[in-house]
Amino acid sequence: MTMMKFSVTILGSNSAIPAPGRNPTAQVVNIHDRLFLVDCAEGTQLQMRRFKVHALRINHVFISHLHGDHFFGLIGLISTYNLLERRTPLHIYAPQALEEVLHLQLGVAGTQLVYTLYFHPVDPSLHRVIFEDEVVTVETFPVVHRIPTCGFLFRERDRPRNIRKDFLDKEHPSFDAIRQIKAGDDYTNPSGKLYLNEAITFTRHEPAAYAYCTDTAYHEPLADYVKGADLLYHEATFMDSEAGTAEAKYHATAMQAATIALKAGVKRLILGHFSSRYDDLQPLLDEARSIFPESYIAMDGDIFKIR
Amino acid sequence: MTMMKFSVTILGSNSAIPAPGRNPTAQVVNIHDRLFLVDCAEGTQLQMRRFKVHALRINHVFISHLHGDHFFGLIGLISTYNLLERRTPLHIYAPQALEEVLHLQLGVAGTQLVYTLYFHPVDPSLHRVIFEDEVVTVETFPVVHRIPTCGFLFRERDRPRNIRKDFLDKEHPSFDAIRQIKAGDDYTNPSGKLYLNEAITFTRHEPAAYAYCTDTAYHEPLADYVKGADLLYHEATFMDSEAGTAEAKYHATAMQAATIALKAGVKRLILGHFSSRYDDLQPLLDEARSIFPESYIAMDGDIFKIR
């Protein structure tokens, strides 16, 4: 059995103004070797080079909202893919207005893409599945910011269940029956005996989930959208002493991020999107850990492993 | 007398695909403490931070053409200026189509600039002065690329001449007469004696000039536009062994850059805009120096001083 990966690589941990060593927002989510790019600030392609992310393996890009520190690097990445003669289609999930921005920039440069760019408009106000394949689903959910913004939830799909060996040895079910049991069906043997699915199967692990919430004000209903996630990235632009500034700018504090993590019962919390005013991030971490001990600071280049 | 600066700081020396340590094109020209930004690839604001360029002192930006590796960093810089609450107006000189690109991006982000952005459309096909103040003029001239592109010539203006002390001691001219002599007039004394201006004045130095030619194919008439410049930046994307590729892509080779430098009689040549295929740039330098010894390689962070 191959090892199933599920990890998040931080390419940019800062808010809009870059700070030394802290680029604005971007990250790569690796789920079973599928690479998903989440937001794409200016300089993201350079960060990929620095942190050895194989850019050409990214086929799907998710943009949370159209503030520049979340998408100004996308046109550069699209252009570099073209110069590298990418062949695989690239799928972009973002608010509709981005499509015109990208096309206008390609147009003024006289660029004809040699690969196909699929633009999937996302309505950030909706809670819905916007992507699924055989191993993962990606949901949007609305967060609260100055312009329409969504969070993303990356969730492994239920995998086929494994069948218990003692049952197989006793009943010798047909191939068709095995397929149905793995898909979750109960089994009735030729003499009419019923076996409930949970009695004859097991899973190696429960599906894991990663939730991404930035940029957003403190908003209690977010806890429901991200409930039980294995890992939550929640913005923590400010310390709680700046809660007024945070509220006015529709951003959150480290304390508020930890409060959402606590209410949602997630396993671990990553704090990110820090204001450039903070050279030392330890106080933000201390603040979050005072109520949610499993809090961590996002630093450019960090890899958070879920599996 | 304050020292008059004239220098060029390389913020990006590479062609479109970033190479390790080599960002795409941008540079800052400092003329008597006026800072001019020339082209602005993705990551330019980060390069400014790295190389201690005081970004807020830049009031004028010149964009040679609308390939992304020459302007994708501009919207990020404009946005960061806004977050830093810049007050001084910013002037952008660029092909007309860029104005819509910038406004569209500010529009989708819901950004209201707190400073004034003046957009000055440039027709890259013309040879003309597009900027002048009391100490410098900036000219465009057409170069030859896949899309309309111009070079820039930064030239110090003639400064008022200094008057020789022996003349002053002898003739004691009036303040008005002194002003006219400094501006270049001859002088006739009350008894009708004529002094030619060059006999009674001197300059500390001749006006210096810096010429910028990228991106461009080899094009002999460029030598006329940049004739006698103290410093010439000319793209050298390829080695001469790749002259066919260079021609097909409307780029130049190191040999061709040196040829323009030689024909133009410039004092020094900077080679730049290197293809990412070259890890080692020494062969490009050797090639240029074989016919123009005063050739230099542009490296990110390099400062070339004219004064």
pLDDT of amino acid A158: 78
- Identify all chain B residues contacting A105, using CB atoms and an 8 Å cutoff: 68, 72, 101
**Rounded (10°) angle between helices B282-289 and B254-264:** 30
| Residue of A33, A39, A69, A230 marked catalytic | A69
Closest to A44 (Cα-Cα) out of A30, A275, A63: A63
pLDDT for residue A259: 98
* Catalytic residue list contains B176: no
The C-alpha atoms of residue A268 and residue A233 are separated, in whole angstroms, by: 9
State yes or no: ipTM above 0.90: no
Reported confidence tier of residue A3, pLDDT bands at 50, 70, 90: low
Contact (CB<8Å) B98/A105: no
Q: Is the pLDDT of residue B1 over 70?
A: no
Nearest to B18 among A45, A68, A97 (CB): A45
Sign of CA dihedral A280, A284, A290, A293: negative
Q: Per the CB < 8 Å rule, is B68 touching A76?
A: yes
pLDDT at B113 over 70: yes
- Under DSSP, is residue A189 helix (H, G, I), strand (E, B) or coil? coil
Higher pLDDT, B266 or B18: B266
Cβ pair A46:B84 closer than 8 A: no
Segment A264-284 mean pLDDT: 97
Structure tokens at A211: 């939730």
Strands A117-121, A90-94: pairing is: parallel
Q: Is the pLDDT of residue A18 over 90?
A: no
Q: Which amino acid is at A305?
A: K
In terms of phi and psi (left: phi > 0; alpha: psi -120 to 50; beta: otherwise), the region of A13 is alpha
- What is the nearest CA distance from A85 to chain B, expressed in angstroms? 12
* C-alpha span between A287 and A258 (Å, rounded): 8
Judged by phi (left if over 0) then psi (alpha if -120 to 50, else beta), residue B237 lies in: alpha
Residue of B39, B69, B230, B300 marked catalytic: B69
Is the Cα torsion angle A52, A55, A59, A63 positive or negative in sign?
positive
Q: Are B102 and B78 in contact (CB under 8 A)?
A: yes
Tell me if chain B has a CB within 8 Å of the CB of A49. Answer: yes
pLDDT digits (tens, 9 = 90+) for B145-191: 999 999 999 999 877 778 999 999 999 999 999 999 988 899 999 99
State yes or no: pLDDT of B141 exceeds 70: yes
Name beta bridge partners: A130: none
Query: Where does the pLDDT of residue A14 fall: very low under 50, low under 70, confident under 90, or very high at 90 and above?
Result: very high
Q: For B45, which of A18, A76, A84 is closest by C-beta distance?
A: A18
Q: Note the pLDDT of residue A22.
A: 95
Residue-wise pLDDT tens digits, B246-298? 999 999 999 999 999 999 999 999 999 999 999 999 999 999 999 999 999 99
If you measure CA to CA, which chain B residue comes closest to A49?
B20
State how far the Cα of B291 lies from the Cα of B296, in Å rounded to an integer.
Answer: 13
Percent of chain B whose pLDDT exceeds 90:
91
